[in-house]
Amino acid sequence: MRISSGQTVRDVLIRYPSTGPIFLQHGPMFSLRPGELYVRYDELTIEKYAALNHIALDPLLRLLNAAAEDDARGTPPHYDPYGKGPVVGGTLGYTVAYRDPTPNLELASVVDVQSARGPD
């Protein structure tokens, strides 16, 4: 199934989780209206999303379809920057950067380290 301009952003994200970073890189998935306290998460189609963020529809559809093909083939959407292998599930946000502390980690007081250096 190809992603088309009439599909909703929500449906595409549910079916193809690896499209999440593409949406996040191209702009917000909400609308802000003057005088309102909260943002609105309207049911956006891909076409409305592109218009809201002032981006060309055809290149966006190409990117989304490429990510959807990777999902269909089972190819991981991206890799852990710390070399622990593929990130499964299309994790979004800063949780990918978390690393478990190593047993050889040496902890030192900031005051002790700065005092040992002296005034530079």
Phi-psi domain of 93 (left: phi exceeds 0; alpha: psi -120 through 50; beta: other): left
pLDDT, tens only, 30-80: 888 888 888 888 889 999 999 999 999 999 999 999 888 887 776 555 544
Task: For residue 101, give the DSSP letter.
Answer: P
If one counts every other C-beta atom within 10 angstroms of the C-beta of residue 89, the result is 10
Q: Which of 105, 16, 13, 116 has its CA nearest to residue 69?
A: 16
Question: What angle is formed at CA 58 by the lines to CA 54 and CA 60, rounded to 5 degrees?
Answer: 65
* CB within 8 Å of 65: residues ≥ 6 apart: 2, 3
User: Ranked by mean pLDDT, which of 11-15, 78-82, 89-93 comes out on top?
Assistant: 11-15
